[in-house]
Amino acid sequence: MSHPEPSLLETGRGQKLAYCKSEGGPVTVIFLGGMMSDKQGAKAVFLEGVCRNQGWGYIRFDYSGHGSSSGNFREGTIGSWLGDVLSIIDHLSEGPLVLVGSSLGGWLALLAALARPGRVKGLVCLAPAVDFTERLLPSILGQELMKEMEEKGEIQIPSEYVDKPYIFTKALFDEGRDHLLLDGPINLDLPVGLLHGMKDTDVPHWISEKIMARLAGGDKRLVLLEGAGHRLSSPAELEQIKTLLEDVVEKAAP
């Protein structure tokens, strides 16, 4: 399958976001990747093929500081990456949308749906790392590294997913507190599909269970995969994503 050449969207914040877009209808699917992932990832490219086969519109893109987009990763926060998502929604898409968010992208997808309730008609969240700066990383990093980050402003942690280390900044944690979702109801009334591996050691599946409990309305479904980890990129796991997306689009399409 041939892929469209990346284009650039200049945002009001001075960033240039790299994206690939395929036209179609009656909905457009937008893929939101994970931290330090990009639009060339397995899930992003796989879903492009799914959407083309179905005739749906599709957009995959890089957050600022990621992939081919401009910006410094160190300066990224939940709010700035959410701003990237909203720029893509507002300037590159029309009509009803279904957002597919992976890991960090799952958190951003829920936030974007709350920010654009008239546009976002369905969500698929894959191992969504909702509130990870508050509920996951402090215990994973431990007191010493958290103290080092407070003192130095950032820490670097090796990643098993990419060659570069994860860079966690104090600003990421501090600003993340403005976007927490799991302390109260998530007021969305739309179809939501959640997919999570039960052997996910990065984002435990209780996060998705908590999201299910916090969603205030709408058609919601959680699929737990017994042997799956965080990547959700094996052929069988990609087929599970396809099935879940088809179900959500069917319910969300006008």
* Long-range interactions of 48-53: CB distance < 8 A, separation 24+: 48/1, 48/3, 48/20, 48/22, 49/1, 50/242, 50/245, 51/22, 51/24, 52/1, 52/22, 52/24
15-35: pLDDT as tens digits: 899 999 999 989 999 999 999
Q: Where do we find the tokens 């088809």? A: 246
Report the C-alpha gap between 129 and 107 in whole angstroms.
6
Token readout for 68 is 């081919």
Token readout for 245 is 């997306």
The CATH label, of 3.40.50.720, 2.40.50.140, 3.40.50.2300, 3.40.50.1820, for the domain at 7-132+183-249 is: 3.40.50.1820
140-153: pLDDT as tens digits: 999 999 999 999 99
112-130: pLDDT as tens digits: 999 999 999 999 999 999 9
* Active site annotation includes 230: yes
Which position among 64, 200, 205, 208 bears the catalytic label?
A: 200
Report the C-alpha gap between 193 and 249 in whole angstroms.
10
Across the chain, mean pLDDT equals: 94
Report the C-alpha gap between 124 and 31 in whole angstroms.
9
Q: What percent of the chain has pLDDT over 90?
A: 89
* Active site annotation includes 139: no
Which position among 80, 87, 103, 208 bears the catalytic label?
A: 103
